[in-house]
Amino acid sequence: GQQVMQIPQYQHVQEGEDFTTYCNSSTTLSNIQWYKQRPGGHPVFLIQLVKSGEVKKQKRLTFQFGEAKKNSSLHITATQTTDVGTYFCAGTKGFQKLVFGTGTRLLVSP
């Protein structure tokens, strides 16, 4: 079945440093979504990418969908303590249900 892996599993940065998490699928995807889960909270939808090579930005967050539509990345510029949480990618193929990645937990020290 479809698998979605994320690396790293965990990263601890100092406030102001950049952060990147990578998402890799075993199969070609129709689209990729990103979610953020704050500590103690529930996952919240951030963004969806559909096109090959697509890049989208949300303030300090940059999301990219690979040319082959099998990988994606989330880059945070100049992290802040409010960025703390676990970031999940999730991919779908056609009308199949969404498959969540393994998640990357980000800790930001002030």
Q: Binding to other proteins by residue 68, rule CB under 8 A? A: no
Burial, 4: exposed, middle or buried (Cβ in 10 Å; 0-12, 13-18, 19+)? buried
From the list 14-22, 40-48, 60-68, 76-84, the region that binds other proteins by CB under 8 A is: 40-48
Using CA atoms, how far residue 50 sits from 41, 57, 83, 93, in Å, is: 27, 14, 24, 11
Q: Is the separation of the CB atoms in 49 and 61 below 8 Å?
A: no
Q: Is the separation of the CB atoms in 37 and 85 below 8 Å?
A: yes
- Measured CA to CA, the distance from residue 7 to residue 26 in angstroms comes to 14
Q: Binding to other proteins by residue 43, rule CB under 8 A? A: yes
Please state the separation of Cα 78 from the chain's center in Å. Answer: 17
Q: Whose Cβ is closer to other proteins: residue 13's or residue 46's?
A: 46
Q: Binding to other proteins by residue 18, rule CB under 8 A? A: no
Among 23, 79, 85, 103, binds other proteins (CB under 8 A): 103
Among 3, 38, 50, 51, binds other proteins (CB under 8 A): 50
Q: Whose Cβ is closer to other proteins: residue 4's or residue 61's?
A: 4
Taking CB under 8 A as the rule, which mask of x and - marks residues 69-98 in contact with other proteins?
-------------------x-x-xxxx-xx
